[in-house]
Amino acid sequence: MDLPVVDLAPYLRSAAGDAAPAGEEELRALCATVSASLRDTGALLVMDPRCSAADNDRFLDVVERYFARSADAKRLQERPHLHYQVGVTPEGVEVPRSLIDKNMQEKIRSMPVEFQPATPKGPDPKWRYMWRVGPRPANTRFKELNSEPVIPEGLPEWKETMDSWGSKMISAIQVVAEIAAIGFGLSKDAFTSLMKEGPHLLAPTGSDLQRHGSEGTVFAGFHYDLNFLTIHGRSRFPGLNIWLRNGKKMEVKVPVGCLLIQSGKQLEWLTGGECLAGMHEVVVTKRTLDAIALAKEQNRSLWRVSSTLFAHIASDAILKPLGHFAETPDAHSYPPICAGDYVEQELSVINLKGKDGV
């Protein structure tokens, strides 16, 4: 099964007042496709004319150069006291939820063997860089989730590249959030109004395929994302597996010029469980090995960089099922909670925030 590829251009034209009246049927179909895909698969592929493959490549080039630095040089950007929500997270810090969550382990055991995720040996052997995107609130209870960015020295193009690619991906997410809201029968701004001044993070991972390039290596153990929606540009090395709502495992192939969107836990909350947070992992597969061999031939970087952005609900906003989702059978499982409190609970579980809150 392939994920649907949704072209956002007709919606963008309509929003700009350029669409012909005959396009209304096309827009309704677009909204239905996006909401159904988030509900049934937890993922979809989009094309946004504002986010080009060249933009993605420029971003990957800069981030590859950063991750190629020595571990000691990279650790200068480490900020554990801010829950690793800005700057670099070294390899071996983040613990995959599937290693510690007993309910998740039970769920994995109940899966057919061919759909079970790879078993991590310990903490993820990937690096990650957290870069805040967009304005932050002047007043918030959650200072650590809304900290100033960390800029590595010696890469003069870093800030402009990260801000540019990050803002383009946020723009794509906002359009998808509007389209999904309409498809779900909510007001157009039901989600985007809650995203305003959220702690959005451009969060590329760096996995060293020179050191960890053997088949079966788990870079990101089976997990869901704690945020609202996650968006990825295309990586130069495959390896992302996702699980559909029916329990089937699927290797994701992102076509050139496309972006991958995945549903996160905050979307699950706002829809009362109608959309479940998409489960996924990143593993070295046979296709990854082929890409490694080609990169060696072409003398290219062997760092697998994911072009990932986590879009969040604002830290001080309340998460609860919206509109008619408050009447769903599972709505009671999603009691009102401040988004920042929810995020801090989740960060604590995966070892990015101390258990005692420091």
Percent of the chain past pLDDT 90, that is, above it, reads: 71
Tens digits of residue pLDDT in 314-355: 999 999 999 999 999 999 999 999 999 999 888 776 555 544
Q: Helix, strand or coil for residue 327?
A: helix
268-288: b or e for each residue (b if 16 or more CB lie within 10 Å)? bbbbbbbbbbbbbbbbbbeeb
- Residues 231 and 172 sit within 8 Å (Cβ to Cβ): yes
Q: Find tokens 């990260």 and name the residue.
A: 162
Residue with the bigger pLDDT between 109 and 145: it is: 109
- Residues 176 and 46 sit within 8 Å (Cβ to Cβ): yes
Q: Band the pLDDT of 101: cuts 50, 70, 90.
A: confident
Residue with the bigger pLDDT between 291 and 149: it is: 291
- Residues 284 and 217 sit within 8 Å (Cβ to Cβ): yes
- Tell me the fold of 5-350: Jelly Rolls (2.60.120)
Percent of the chain past pLDDT 70, that is, above it, reads: 95
Q: Band the pLDDT of 19: cuts 50, 70, 90.
A: low
Determine the average pLDDT of the residues in 106-118. Answer: 93
For 167, phi and psi rounded to 5 degrees?
Answer: -70, -35
Determine whether 356 is exposed, middle or buried from the number of CB atoms within 10 Å of its CB (0-12, 13-18, 19+): exposed
Q: Where are the alpha helices (DSSP H) in the chain?
A: 9-15, 24-40, 53-67, 71-75, 97-100, 102-109, 158-183, 192-195, 265-270, 286-297, 339-349
Asked whether the predicted pLDDT for residue 121 surpasses 70, the reply is yes
Tens digits of residue pLDDT in 147-192: 678 999 999 999 999 999 999 999 999 999 999 999 999 999 999 9
Asked whether the predicted pLDDT for residue 102 surpasses 60, the reply is yes
So where are the chain's domains? Answer: 5-350
Tens digits of residue pLDDT in 294-319: 999 999 999 999 989 999 999 999 99
Asked whether the predicted pLDDT for residue 358 surpasses 70, the reply is no
Give residue 346's pLDDT.
Answer: 83
Tens digits of residue pLDDT in 202-217: 999 999 999 999 999 9
Model pTM above 0.85: yes
Tens digits of residue pLDDT in 43-88: 999 999 999 999 999 999 999 999 999 999 999 999 988 878 789 9
Determine the average pLDDT of the residues in 129-138. Answer: 89
